[in-house]
């Protein structure tokens, strides 16, 4: 049997921490505030952003959504980010993807000051993370670590294979795993014989963005598999990067999609926002 490593209970306990700290701050006259800058008309993004706003509302975190047109230029987005960076009432900033076609994250990431960079997109935040110094890690990468901690998965000396090397998931998760003394291999689209490499893993973290790519051949008996993937099929259903049916009975544990990494990530974004508010009032 493969254990289902649900993120729901963990997300609930993170949200409880958020609520307690948000209340303390509000009682002291600081309303923790997260700004989300959106420049897309993608419906699933709109749903995701409004779900963060609703969760924030329940927990005492004010979420301000700034919406620009999907045709917005890099300069327009930069101007908006400068405004949010200077606004003392805003403690955390999320630059929501997807961005307009003509704009890349690299054009904008430096405009999110590191103290407000609650999803770790600024390259300086990434540098601090590599140096082992305090900075907000990208929430998804931290969610992977929190799940491993929650389910008491041993990391020290263990072999971990991370499939995917993006700046928001694969690379930061590899750094965080190294800090826990795991032996980490990062694989990507040019990696040869990925199933054989994955078979060496005690823990397999999959962040590829390809529905059900990881099947039984990638997983050896007992491996703990963290599925970061969120892909949608033609009917709008959410699918992971791992074929859960195929690895059932082989993987020692698997995070479900939905209900695994996703809810923990959302809870952590709000946690980072209240921590940022707490740090900025000092």
Strand duo 231-232 + 238-239: pairing: antiparallel
Question: Which of 165, 220 has the CB closer to ligand NAP?
Answer: 165
Residue listed under structure tokens 């990494």: 261
| Residue 169-198 contact track with ligand NAP, rule CB under 6 A, x = bound | xx----------------xxxxx--x----
The answer to whether 8 contacts ligand NAP (rule: CB under 6 A) is no
Name the DSSP class of 93. E
Name the DSSP class of 235. T
The answer to whether 269 contacts ligand NAP (rule: CB under 6 A) is no
Sole binder of ligand NAP in the list 32, 262, 267, 275 (CB under 6 A): 262
Name the DSSP class of 141. H
Sole binder of ligand NAP in the list 261, 267, 268, 273 (CB under 6 A): 261
Q: How far is CA 115 from the centre of its chain?
A: 18
Interface segment toward ligand NAP; rule CB under 6 A; list 33-41, 122-130, 172-180, 228-236: 228-236
The answer to whether 163 contacts ligand NAP (rule: CB under 6 A) is yes
Beta strands in the chain, from DSSP E residues, in sequence order: 3-4, 33-38, 62-67, 92-95, 159-163, 183-187, 203-206, 224-227, 231-232, 238-239, 253-254
Determine phi and psi for 253, rounding to 5 degrees: -160, 150
Question: Which of 51, 75 has the CB closer to ligand NAP?
Answer: 51
Which residues in this chain contact ligand NAP in the complex, by CB under 6 A?
140, 163-166, 168-170, 187-191, 194, 207-210, 228-231, 261-262, 265
């Amino acid at each position: 049997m493969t254990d289902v490593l649900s993120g729901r209970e963990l997300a609930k306990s993170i949200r409880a921490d958020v609520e307690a700290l948000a209340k303390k701050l509000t009682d002291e006259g600081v309303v923790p505030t997260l700004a989300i800058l959106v420049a897309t008309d993608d419906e699933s993004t709109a749903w995701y952003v409004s779900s963060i706003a609703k969760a924030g509302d329940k927990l005492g975190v004010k979420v301000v959504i700034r919406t620009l047109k999907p045709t917005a230029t890099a300069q327009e987005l930069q101007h908006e980010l400068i405004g949010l960076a200077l606004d003392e009432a805003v403690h955390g900033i999320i630059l929501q993807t997807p961005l307009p076609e003509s704009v890349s994250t690299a054009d904008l990431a430096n405009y999110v000051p590191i103290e407000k960079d609650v999803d770790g997109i600024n390259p300086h935040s990434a540098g601090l993370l590599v140096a082992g110094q305090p900075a907000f890690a990208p929430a998804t990468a931290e969610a992977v670590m929190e799940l491993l901690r929650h389910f008491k998965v041993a990391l020290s000396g263990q072999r971990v294979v991370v499939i995917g090397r993006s700046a928001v998931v694969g690379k930061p998760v590899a750094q965080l795993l190294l800090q826990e003394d795991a032996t980490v291999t990062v694989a990507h689209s040019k990696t040869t014989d990925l199933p054989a490499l994955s078979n060496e893993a005690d823990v397999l973290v999959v962040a590829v963005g390809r529905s059900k790519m990881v099947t039984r051949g990638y997983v050896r008996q007992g491996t703990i598999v963290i599925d970061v993937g969120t892909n949608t099929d033609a009917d709008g259903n959410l699918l992971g990067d791992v074929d859960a049916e195929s690895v059932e009975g082989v993987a020692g544990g698997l995070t479900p999609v939905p209900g695994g990494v996703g809810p923990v990530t959302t809870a952590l974004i709000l946690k980072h926002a209240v921590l940022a508010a707490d740090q900025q009032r000092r």
